[in-house]
């Protein structure tokens, strides 16, 4: 890992997302990109500071994640390599700052990779790690994108007010990092958005917005949404048009809607309305 700059951060929270297996529709990676770009104070953008990046050759198979050639306006050629970067984001209007980790899911040496990330988290005195993920599921695009909030240990889940993870099966780098947090005594929560499998092509702004909203709810903060709601509405319109062109898809979507509505009717009348009202209050300008 190459350290570039260590900023002064106040009780920082680490937010992590990777492209690849953990990132259906690129919803999770787009959510952290939004987090890095969304903030401004008095119309001045808050720019993230590059803290560190990891050596590409140590963790990536370049036949799996190939480098890209870019040519600028002066016809100067440059190769960009798959990588993971760590940014510091100081938000003066909040009580805590962020450390944001983004990049390509590594191809190899996951234990060493996770150790480097969490060693840096310890050095920066990170007290909470939140991972973003997105997965394909049998859900309708016309309903709110569901986001599950889980912890890897029952005691942790109870203390942080999330569900305990009951997942068994293959895992990605996010699962390895969460396990590393548990072993080090660092609180860790995973937020996963469920994306309709028939509409999983990137981008998926509605799912990215749901992840941002879930982060707001969990941390009890307000995050600027900027153009993300409009992009989410346009995405839904495009999927509507696509599904209407195929009667089989339209019928399938209707069946998914009926199933989801029947399963979540009690929540719609309670918790979800309360969360929307709390989010409205957080966003309302203070007198």
Q: pTM of whole model > 0.75?
A: yes
Q: Each residue of 105-121: pLDDT tens digit?
A: 999 999 999 999 999 99
State residue 271's pLDDT score.
61
What is the DSSP secondary-structure string of 183-220?
Answer: HHT-EEEEEEEEEEGGG-SSP-HHHHHHHHHHHHHHHT
pLDDT at position 260 = 83
Given this model, what pLDDT does residue 245 score? Answer: 83
Q: What is residue 234's predicted lDDT score, i.e. its pLDDT?
A: 94
- Spatial strand order of the sheet with 49-53 comes to 2-3, 49-53, 84-89, 98-104, 13-19, 128-137, 187-196, 147-151, 163-164
The CATH number of whichever domain residue 269 belongs to comes to: 3.40.50.10900
pLDDT at 246: 81
What is the reported pLDDT for 199?
86
Q: What is the pLDDT of residue 251?
A: 86
- Gap between the Cα atoms of 56 and 75, Å rounded: 25
Looking at residue 280, what is its pLDDT? 55
Count of the separate structural domains present in the chain:
1
Alpha-carbon distance of 1 to 84, in angstroms, equals 10
DSSP 8-state class, residue 77:
E
The 10 Å Cβ neighbour count of residue 261 is 12
pLDDT for res 204: 94
Per-residue tokens: 230: 């409009």
- The tens digit of pLDDT for each residue in 177-198 reads 999 999 999 999 999 999 998 8
pLDDT along the chain (287 residues), means of 10: 93 96 95 93 85 94 92 91 95 94 96 97 96 93 91 90 89 95 94 91 93 94 93 92 84 85 64 58 57
The domain of 19 spans 2-283
């Amino acid at each position: 890992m190459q350290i570039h700059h260590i900023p002064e951060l106040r009780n920082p929270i680490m937010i992590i997302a990777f492209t690849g297996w953990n990132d259906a529709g690129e919803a999770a990676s787009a959510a952290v990109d939004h987090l890095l770009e969304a903030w401004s104070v008095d119309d001045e953008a808050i720019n993230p500071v590059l803290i560190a990046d990891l050596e590409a050759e140590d963790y990536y198979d370049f036949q799996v994640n190939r480098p890209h050639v870019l040519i600028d306006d002066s016809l100067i050629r440059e190769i960009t390599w798959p990588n993971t970067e760590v940014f510091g984001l100081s938000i003066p209007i909040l009580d805590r700052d962020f450390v944001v980790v983004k990049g390509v899911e590594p191809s190899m040496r996951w234990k060493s990779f996770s150790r480097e990330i969490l060693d840096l988290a310890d050095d920066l005195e990170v007290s909470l790690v939140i991972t973003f993920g997105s997965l394909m599921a049998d859900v309708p695009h016309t309903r709110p994108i569901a986001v599950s909030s889980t912890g890897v240990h029952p005691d942790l889940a109870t203390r942080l007010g999330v569900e305990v993870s009951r997942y068994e099966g293959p895992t990605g780098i996010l699962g390895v990092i969460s396990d590393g947090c548990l072993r080090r005594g660092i609180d860790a929560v995973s937020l996963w958005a469920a994306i309709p499998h028939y509409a999983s092509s990137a981008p998926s702004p509605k799912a990215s917005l749901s992840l941002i909203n879930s982060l707001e709810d969990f941390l009890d903060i307000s995050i600027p949404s900027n153009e993300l709601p409009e992009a989410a509405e346009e995405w839904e319109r495009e999927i509507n048009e696509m599904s209407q062109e195929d009667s089989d898809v339209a019928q399938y979507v209707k069946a998914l809607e009926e199933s989801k509505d029947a399963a979540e009717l009690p929540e719609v009348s309670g918790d979800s309305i309360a969360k929307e009202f709390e989010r409205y209050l957080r966003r309302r300008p203070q007198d």
